[in-house]
Amino acid sequence: MCARYSLAAIPEQIESLFDIAPTGDLEPRYNIAPTQQVPAVVEGKAGHELRYFQWGLIPSWAKDASIGHRLINARSETAFERPAFRSAMERRRCLLPTSGFYEWREADKAQNQAAFDGMDTKPRKPKAGPKQPYRFEVDGGELFAFAGLWEVWDSPSGEPIQTCTMLTTSANHLLTMFHDRMPCILTKQDFDVFLDLSMGREELAAVLSPFPDERMRAVPVNTALNNPRNEDPDLALPVGPVLTA
């Protein structure tokens, strides 16, 4: 599962990587959370287009918007079958530009385990420590994209609401220290393959597989990130040793 990410890049970098028209209103973001408006790249009539979607997919058939809080992620392995995602997987795919995503672990878990290793008597189970956020980066901090899906829901007021979700896959070795799932990570050579709606389950299997962990690192960052209202460049600064596979 992924519930927080960042997009710390200038508009020119995003425009170049995703081959989109100039987007002067894009500002660096360091703590993107569910229900917020997020930038996404879709395949338009004239090529790639940038749009904004609310993070948390609301299926077109939903009775109310609350379901979106539970659908911030979608399992790529079953998205072609699940009613909530099937239509979007077939017709409405998108790229979610990002510079990194966050996962949490107990800050002192490794230290506690090391301290008890080799003891003759079984120690009391240590109390869970505070959760330490880590930002996962690709290729040393380069921009990349999550594979996403988008949908349109007609609200009771008649106003259409465009929403999105992030596809996930099994965690690679680096991520297993934090979670058993990870986002489906796409780099530039994968963009057009994923957005091509003629590509089905078998053709997409390679690009929706776990990303190579040797191309990733986990950077511990400030616990101020735990509050989604905090949005500050200092959230990107490392506060401890970087983890690699």
| Cβ count near 203 (within 10 Å) | 12
- Phi, then psi, of 223 in degrees rounded to 5: -70, -10
Catalytic residue status for 103 = yes
Are 93 and 175 a contacting pair, CB within 8 Å?
Answer: no
Instruction: Given the residues 2, 94, 164, 184, select the one marked as catalytic.
Output: 2
Catalytic residue status for 164 = no
DSSP 30-54: EEE-TTSEEEEEEEETTEEEEEEEE
Instruction: Given the residues 15, 43, 94, 103, select the one marked as catalytic.
Output: 103
In three-state form (DSSP H/G/I as H, E/B as E, the rest C), the secondary structure along 119-164 is CCCCCCCCCCCCEEEEEEEECCCCCEEEEEEEEEEECCCCCEEEEE
Catalytic residues: 2, 103
